[in-house]
Chains A and B, each alone.
Chain A
Amino acid sequence: MQRAWVSVKPRGRGGFAMGLPEARKLGIPLMNLVRFKGLPILQQLHLEERLLRTSSDNWCIINDGTDQPTIVMGISGKPAELLEIKSVLCDHIPVIRRFTGGGTVIVDPSTIFVTFICNKDAVPGLQPYPRPIMSWSEQIYNKVFQGIGDFHLRENDYVFGNHKFGGNAQSITKNRWIHHTSFLWDYEVRSMAYLKLPERAPEYRLHCVKEAKQVSWRRNLCDLSSNIKHASWVDFTRYSNQYKARDHLEFICRMKDFMPRSIFVDRSVEATKTHFLLRSTESENIEAHSGTKFCHSTRLLTKQELEAAAFAAPSEGALSQPCSL
């Protein structure tokens, strides 16, 4: 596990570190801030799930990039529906099924992760349901992106205008909730080719994609026909997947075009401080927080599972060519 960022702990009256009772007396909920750089996403998700289920503190986790490109599906994600499994297997991209709901993302060292884990009464007046939590998070990021771009929460995505740069997912338990976001700082076009376009798309996206699809379909056909005259079947698959990636690109954008990385992280911390008293915590201290045995549901899908999914899916099954050429 990567070392967490270390900062000076805030001091209360009398010079002792302010704990939860003291923060409560001031009427401000306390939140532990943990910062990582390059923490593998599987470890991050394991940590988050454990803190959600076994801790009684509030937490903010910021991970400045993960270690390698990884596909992360929601809790009920089905690989056959969401992924171009053949390409994923050929290129050995890890696939994780996380414990929160929501869609599929491909994350990499350029992605920035921000997570809030809170007790249900941490934010006064906030009802512990998906929509209110989503709207509350928008308040935080409104402050982060004030004056920069046309930031909105569109349904469940963070967008500039109509282009998504941040995806959200949540889990709400009896007494706590988690809201975590992956921010598309930058992305590789070819990475998007591993993902299928989801069947259920947000309303705001449908209007943009509908017209773009018609244009790109015609363009794809022309490009394909000029490129695949003497290519093998696998080459055809790769080419067609690259062009399919263009569909994803129609509705996403890079956050780096709007804000420097460090500024975003700093502003996010500052915005969080408007709701919470932040206390920086070292990662080693997190282990000490919880002695409860815990079995997390976030896991890496095995190669066998992915192969079985590919076999079961009719379109994938037809492209049964060996990976190595």
Chain B
Amino acid sequence: MVGSVHLSVSVPGFSCLGAQSSISTVLLRSDCVLYVRFGVVSFNCPHSLKIFCFSSHALADLPLGGIVDVPLAQTGEGIAECELLKWFVQEGDQIEEFQPICEVQSDKATIEITSRYKGRVAQILYVPGDIVKVGETLLQIVVEEAQVPTLTAVVSDNPSPTDDGFEKAVSLGSDPRKNSIGGVLSTPAVRHLAKQHGVDINDVLGTGKDGRILKEDVLKYAVQKEIVKDPSTSLTAGVEKQFLEGEEDQPSVSSVVGHDYEYEDKTVPLRGFQRAMVKSMSMAAKVPHFHYVDEINCDALMELKASFQDNNSDPDVKHTFLPLLIKSLSMALSKYPSMNSCFNESSLEVVLKGSHNIGIAMATPYGLVVPNIKNVQSLSILEITKELSRLQKMALGNKLDPVDIFGGTITLSNIGAIGGKFGSPLLNLPEVSIIAIGRIQKVPQFGDDGNLYPASIMTVNIGADHRVLDGATVARFCNEWKQFVEKPELLMLHMK
């Protein structure tokens, strides 16, 4: 894939070896899923496992046998599978790091997949026309051939010449089924089925294209060898289904309904917003955050909201606190534009965004999503109220437009709507700040006269990118915002 690979770990139970940007080996807890930027590797194995990662740096700990599984990496949000169009390499080829190895198609785009390893192609697992799910192994590469003395690569006869390599045909030699490294042509699902039935896949006669071994071939062989009685058992359907859902463990038999069925593990593949969250939070965890916490007196805010509601003649409009907080936030951003910026790591530049596109984190049945209200600096509180309502409705119906999600410059997370005093939010990259607001709580406070009065207090936690923002800036920004919330009449000073 183009671009660098960063391995981010945000799930407890991990220990990472090596530098943050050149991790070669990660030890996983048995029930953990590791999401790798541009790739998905999922596991469900009974023991701690050394996994194979792809890295642009020389590996200190090479996997056993020197064979690396290269999966189809994530090529875009929401893309779960791609069609394999063509291979640029064939088994036995020596390939360089970043060399294009194949082309896939996802929806509207053809995409070249590049190798992250230098090595020799050991085995190609799909043929053009196959649909490959993201995360499935595309091919295997031998990284350190010397470590695998018994390995013999497949060298094809006379690969067809091309001008620049794009038209290389995949030629598997005269008899791929007899390859000594087990280079038979079959999908991982079929290999797993063979393993399940205790069948050596090299002994199976393939009836698919180019001698490809199909599921039926394995079952037929197993029946012939009297390994199974009935090849059409629902066990196989359960195996394939589970495999496609990402489990590589010994599958439980889904067709056998046990008396403890309700206690069985349930695998939930992460899709859509949930999958996007895995990716975005993993990247955000790499950024050095600092959190600034403060309390805001919301007495005036509550009075203002009540006044809006009492004087509201539009039945479709419901006034809440958020639009007031959003507008006052925008006012404060005008004075502290660095809080409304994006950090470009590669060029070490901070882009001070002109528009205040304030994102509002929303918990929906489909997962966490952060649509943003564009150009808040130019909107009235009423317009913000209506736009917020529209976004909430769209989010609940999973009908948000990409435009609504793209282009945010700062995020507000009203976790208090659900509960809690405050949270420690993670940045919504590439933004540099995020604000989590807790529930407004009535607490006793001392007045200037020394007496106790009830006050509606809201705790806020501002998470900021410490590479770009310092504590003083965030503190001053928060004071400015707090002033507008506690004394909303000051907003009128800036009214145009």
Q: Are A294 and B164 in contact (CB under 8 A)?
A: yes
Q: A76-B105, A124-B347, A131-B76 are in contact. Are A172 and B83 (CB under 8 A)?
A: no
Determine the distance from Cα of A129 to Cα of B73 in the docked complex, in whole angstroms.
12
B163 lies within 8 A of chain A by Cβ: yes
Determine the distance from Cα of A125 to Cα of B343 in the docked complex, in whole angstroms.
10
Q: A131-B76, A131-B402 are in contact. Are A172 and B3 (CB under 8 A)?
A: no
Determine the distance from Cα of A128 to Cα of B100 in the docked complex, in whole angstroms.
15
Q: Are A128 and B3 in contact (CB under 8 A)?
A: yes
Q: Is the interface of B mostly helix, strand, loop or mixed?
A: loop
Contact check: which of B75, B85, B108, B166 meets A156 at CB < 8 Å? B108
Q: A76-B83, A125-B342, A135-B402 are in contact. Are A169 and B109 (CB under 8 A)?
A: yes
Determine the distance from Cα of A120 to Cα of B137 in the docked complex, in whole angstroms.
26
Number of interface residues of B (CB under 8 A): 34
Q: Please give me the residue from chain A that is nearest to B167 by CB atom.
A: A295
Q: Please give me the residue from chain A that is nearest to B77 by CB atom.
A: A131
Which of chain A's residues have a CB closer than 8 A to the CB of B254?
none
What is the 8 Å Cβ interface bit string for chain A, positions 158-174, against chain B (1 contact, 0 not)? 00000000001111111
Q: Please give me the residue from chain A that is nearest to B38 by CB atom.
A: A129
Contact check: which of A120, A127, A170 meets B110 at CB < 8 Å? A170
A2 lies within 8 A of chain B by Cβ: no
* Minimum Cβ distance to chain B for residue A57 (Å): 18
Contact check: which of B76, B167, B344, B430 meets A130 at CB < 8 Å? B76
Q: Are A294 and B75 in contact (CB under 8 A)?
A: no
A94 lies within 8 A of chain B by Cβ: no
Q: Are A168 and B402 in contact (CB under 8 A)?
A: no
Q: Are B401 and A154 in contact (CB under 8 A)?
A: yes
Determine the distance from Cα of A75 to Cα of B344 in the docked complex, in whole angstroms.
35
Query: Which residues in window 109-139 of A have CB below 8 A to B?
Result: 120, 124-125, 127-135, 138
* Minimum Cβ distance to chain B for residue A150 (Å): 11
A254 lies within 8 A of chain B by Cβ: no
Number of interface residues of A (CB under 8 A): 40
Determine the distance from Cα of A294 to Cα of B114 in the docked complex, in whole angstroms.
20
Query: Which residues in window 347-406 of B have CB below 8 A to A?
Result: 347, 401-403, 406
Interface contact tally, CB-CB below 8 A = 104
Q: Are A153 and B402 in contact (CB under 8 A)?
A: yes
Query: Which residues in window 398-418 of B have CB below 8 A to A?
Result: 401-403, 406
What is the 8 Å Cβ interface bit string for chain A, positions 140-154, against chain B (1 contact, 0 not)? 000000000000111
A74 lies within 8 A of chain B by Cβ: yes
Q: Are B108 and A124 in contact (CB under 8 A)?
A: no
A187 lies within 8 A of chain B by Cβ: no
Determine the distance from Cα of A120 to Cα of B109 in the docked complex, in whole angstroms.
15
Determine the distance from Cα of A67 to Cα of B296 in the docked complex, in whole angstroms.
67
Contact check: which of A101, A175, A297 meets B108 at CB < 8 Å? A101
Q: A125-B342, A295-B164 are in contact. Are A101 and B3 (CB under 8 A)?
A: no
Determine the distance from Cα of A293 to Cα of B166 in the docked complex, in whole angstroms.
12
Determine the distance from Cα of A122 to Cα of B339 in the docked complex, in whole angstroms.
26
B112 lies within 8 A of chain A by Cβ: yes
Determine the distance from Cα of A102 to Cα of B344 in the docked complex, in whole angstroms.
32
Which of chain A's residues have a CB closer than 8 A to the CB of B163?
292-295
Q: Are A101 and B344 in contact (CB under 8 A)?
A: no
A100 lies within 8 A of chain B by Cβ: yes
A99 lies within 8 A of chain B by Cβ: yes
B107 lies within 8 A of chain A by Cβ: yes
Q: Are A101 and B107 in contact (CB under 8 A)?
A: yes
Which of chain A's residues have a CB closer than 8 A to the CB of B129?
76
* Minimum Cβ distance to chain A for residue B405 (Å): 9
A53 lies within 8 A of chain B by Cβ: yes
Instruction: Point out which of B75, B109, B163, B342 has the most chain A C-beta atoms below 10 A from its C-beta.
Output: B109
B253 lies within 8 A of chain A by Cβ: no
Contact check: which of A154, A171, A295 meets B109 at CB < 8 Å? A171
Q: Are A172 and B112 in contact (CB under 8 A)?
A: yes
Contact check: which of B75, B100, B164, B406 meets A174 at CB < 8 Å? B100
Determine the distance from Cα of A102 to Cα of B3 in the docked complex, in whole angstroms.
24
Which of chain B's residues have a CB closer than 8 A to the CB of A175?
2
Which of chain B's residues have a CB closer than 8 A to the CB of A99?
110
Q: Are A101 and B406 in contact (CB under 8 A)?
A: no
Q: Are B110 and A75 in contact (CB under 8 A)?
A: yes
What is the 8 Å Cβ interface bit string for chain B, positions 328-354, against chain A (1 contact, 0 not)? 000000000000001010010000000
Contact check: which of A128, A131, A170 meets B2 at CB < 8 Å? A128
Determine the distance from Cα of A170 to Cα of B75 in the docked complex, in whole angstroms.
13
Q: Are A152 and B401 in contact (CB under 8 A)?
A: yes
Q: Are B112 and A101 in contact (CB under 8 A)?
A: no
Q: Please give me the residue from chain B that is nearest to A175 by CB atom.
A: B2
Q: Are B76 and A120 in contact (CB under 8 A)?
A: no
* Minimum Cβ distance to chain B for residue A203 (Å): 9
Q: Are B2 and A120 in contact (CB under 8 A)?
A: yes
4 tightest A-B contacts by CB?
A170-B109, A130-B109, A102-B108, A171-B110
Binding site for A on B (CB under 8 A): 2-3, 75-79, 83, 85, 98, 100, 105-112, 114, 129, 162-164, 166-167, 342, 344, 347, 401-403, 406, 430
In addition to A74-B108, A294-B164, A297-B167, 16 A-B residue pairs with Cβ atoms within 8 Å of each other are A75-B85, A101-B105, A101-B108, A102-B109, A103-B108, A129-B75, A130-B76, A130-B108, A134-B108, A138-B403, A153-B401, A153-B402, A169-B109, A173-B112, A293-B164, A295-B166
